[in-house]
Amino acid sequence: MNHCCLEFPETAGKTIEYIRYIYDPSGAPEVDIRFTDGVSLSIKLQVGMRAEGELYRTCEGDVQVLHRYPVV
């Protein structure tokens, strides 16, 4: 599975004033992080889909996996 990482180096050393989770049914959920210096970091959460596959054979109730495909 491919992993993606978001890093926010500009926030290093900042002090958090509050963290707020915002849910609006008409848009993407959002995490808003407010720092004591007046700067805010907004992280919008997107739902994704993944697919994984297996090629297998069943014989008398036993399952033999022939190949596992990578998660996409």
- Counting the structural domains of the chain, the total is 1
1 pLDDT more than 50: no
Q: Does residue 34 belong to any structural domain of this protein?
A: yes
Q: Give residue 40's pLDDT.
A: 94
Q: Give residue 8's pLDDT.
A: 92
Residue 19 makes CB contacts below 8 A (sequence gap 6+) with 31, 32, 33, 34
Q: Does residue 1 belong to any structural domain of this protein?
A: no
Q: Does residue 60 belong to any structural domain of this protein?
A: yes
Q: Does residue 4 belong to any structural domain of this protein?
A: no
* Structure tokens belonging to residue 9: 């180096």
Q: Does residue 3 belong to any structural domain of this protein?
A: no
Q: Give residue 10's pLDDT.
A: 94
Q: Which domain holds residue 52?
A: 9-69
DSSP letters spanning 9-60? GGGTTPPEEEEEEE--TTS--EEEEEETTS-EEEEE--------EEEEEEET
Indicate the DSSP class of residue 61: T
CA 32 from chain centre, in angstroms, equals 16
pTM over 0.85? The answer is no
Q: Give residue 25's pLDDT.
A: 84
Summarised one tens digit per residue, pLDDT across range 20-71 is 999 888 888 999 999 999 999 999 888 787 888 888 888 888 989 888 888 8
